[in-house]
Amino acid sequence: MVETKAQKEMKDTKVLTKANAAIKWCENASTHLLANGGKEWVYLLVPHDEVKENLKITDYLNRFRFQETV
């Protein structure tokens, strides 16, 4: 799951709360899907100014895989 946000919103409390909920959703989806022959879900939070035509999904996975915040 990929979400883009304006650079200035990347540390906003609402954005981070939503991101944490998305991580939980991806974890739950992954648990079910992996047990049933599916694939893992991950959450990426990408600053809007980092979206580039020349980047591949692996570039985004390596740079923007979001980790839950406290």
Predicted confidence band of residue 6 (pLDDT cuts 50, 70, 90): very high
Say if 13 falls within a structural domain.
yes
Say if 51 falls within a structural domain.
yes
Domains held by the chain: number: 1
Domain ranges, residue 26: 2-64
Predicted confidence band of residue 57 (pLDDT cuts 50, 70, 90): very high
For residue 70, pLDDT over 70 is answered with no
The pTM (predicted TM-score) of the whole model is 0.84
pLDDT of 58 reads 95
Say if 22 falls within a structural domain.
yes
DSSP string, 6-62: -GGGTT-HHHHHHHHHHHHHHHHHHHHHHHTT------EEEEGGG--TT--HHHHHH
For residue 67, pLDDT over 90 is answered with no
pLDDT of 2 reads 95
